Amino acid sequence: MTAALRLKPKNRAAALLAHAREHRYAIGAFNAVNLETAEAIVQAAELENAPVILQVSENAARYAGLEHLTAVCQSLREHASIPVILHFDHAETLESALTAVALGYDMVMLEGGDLDLDGNAKRLKLLSKTAHALGVAVEGEFEVTQKGEREATHLSASALEDFMKVSGVDAVAVDIGTSHKQTEKTAMLNIPHLRDLAHQTAAPLVLHGSSGATPEDLRIAIHEGISKVNVATELMLEFTRGVREQLSDPKLYDARKYLGYAREVMTQRVRTLIQNFGSSGQVL
């Protein structure tokens, strides 16, 4: 086991991710949409003695209610035996990101695809100034991970250094060949592009859309600089599989039975992912 990190109350998300980058493992960033999925994520991390990022996306907040889902996740964070970073993912506006900061999130990600690179960096600078004053880390979007049939958004690696200086972000999302909402592991990762990006910055690099990548490719990407791996679709598939298995019994009516079973199924998948990311045992 590599040297584990003793965390400080403030900026612990940035500290965790920096440690992951230095020691070539990744912290799993898993999306929660309700109580059961959030519990599965934290339980898995506790069983693996691993730091974990509990993610709430703007879409999930619209579904469950931002304050309600945040309260559930904050309670799990406070009672967990391992470091839980509460992250607001894919904020669509600066206002949404600042709301998450005010609500007590440890880290926020602001989308940047609606602006050119310079405008994106300058808007992130505004977010970083407020967030950092409160000990909150910021993830910026240097390259946009697409949905479905993808078009590469690769930018010049040399532009990343300036983007980091202007934006002041703690971690940066890059596009190396994955897509959001992939249900099959058919992504072809562009490792040479990742290496070029990693040479430009020591900041943790973030992979979105990881559900479409094979475990082997993810391990290579992590070794080359990916320090935060976002997982959503793969977990939703696993949770839904558990529900379907239980509901094959026409006599089953108790929601606790099939939701509880699905939670356990998802817990096991999160454990497997944590192991593959190399973050098991990274907590003292």
Q: Which active-site residues does the annotation give?
A: 89
For residue 223, CA distances in Å to 79, 189, 202 come to 32, 13, 13
The DSSP 8-state label assigned to residue 144 in this structure reads P
Q: How far apart are CA 40 and CA 260, in angstroms?
A: 10
Which residues on adjacent β-strands are paired with residue 140? 172
CB neighbourhood size of 166 (10 A): 17
Question: Cβ distance 55 to 265 under 8 Å?
Answer: no
132 is in an annotated binding site: no
199 is in an annotated binding site: no
Provide the angle, in degrees to the nearest 10, between the axes of the packed helices 66-79 and 35-48.
20
208 is in an annotated binding site: yes
23 is in an annotated binding site: no
Q: How far apart are CA 204 and CA 185, in angstroms?
A: 24
Provide the angle, in degrees to the nearest 10, between the axes of the packed helices 215-223 and 255-277.
50
Summarize the annotated binding site for Zn(2+) as residue ranges. Answer: 90, 141, 180, 208
Q: Which residue numbers belong to the known binding site? A: 90, 141, 180, 208
